[in-house]
Amino acid sequence: MRILVVEDEPAIGSYIQDCFVERGYSVDWVTTCEQALETAVVEDYDSIILDRRLPDKDGLFVCSELRSQGITVPILVLTALSGIDQRVEGLNVGADDYLLKPFAMDELVARVQALIRRSSYRNQPNLTIRNISLNSLNRNVTVNGEQIPLSNREFLLLEYLMRHADQALTRSQILEHVWETQRDSDTNIVDVYINYLRKKIDVPQKTSNIETVRGFGYRFRYED
Q: 174 near 160, Cβ under 8 Å?
A: yes
The span from the CA of 1 to the CA of 47, in Å, is: 9
The pTM of this model reads 0.56
pLDDT in the model for residue 42: 87
Q: Which amino acid is at 58?
A: D
> What domains are defined for the chain?
2-121 (3.40.50.2300), 126-220 (1.10.10.10)
Q: State whether residue 133 is helix, strand or coil.
A: strand
List per-residue pLDDT tens for the chain, 224 residues long: 789 999 999 999 999 999 999 998 889 999 999 999 999 998 889 899 999 999 999 999 999 999 989 888 999 999 887 677 777 787 888 888 889 888 999 999 999 988 887 776 555 678 899 999 999 878 899 999 999 999 999 998 999 899 888 888 888 888 877 876 655 556 689 999 999 999 999 988 889 999 999 888 999 998 77
Predicted confidence at residue 165, as pLDDT, reads 85
Q: Give me the pLDDT at residue 118, please.
A: 72
Cα–Cα separations (whole angstroms), residue 43 to 24, 27, 48, 93: 19, 12, 11, 21
Q: What is the pLDDT of residue 115?
A: 87
Q: How far apart are CA 196 and CA 154, in angstroms?
A: 8
Query: For strand 210-213 and strand 146-147, is the pairing parallel, antiparallel, or unpaired?
Result: unpaired
Indicate the SS3 state at residue 122: coil
CA dihedral 36→41→45→46, nearest 10 degrees, is 100
pLDDT digits (tens, 9 = 90+) for 134-144: 998 788 999 99
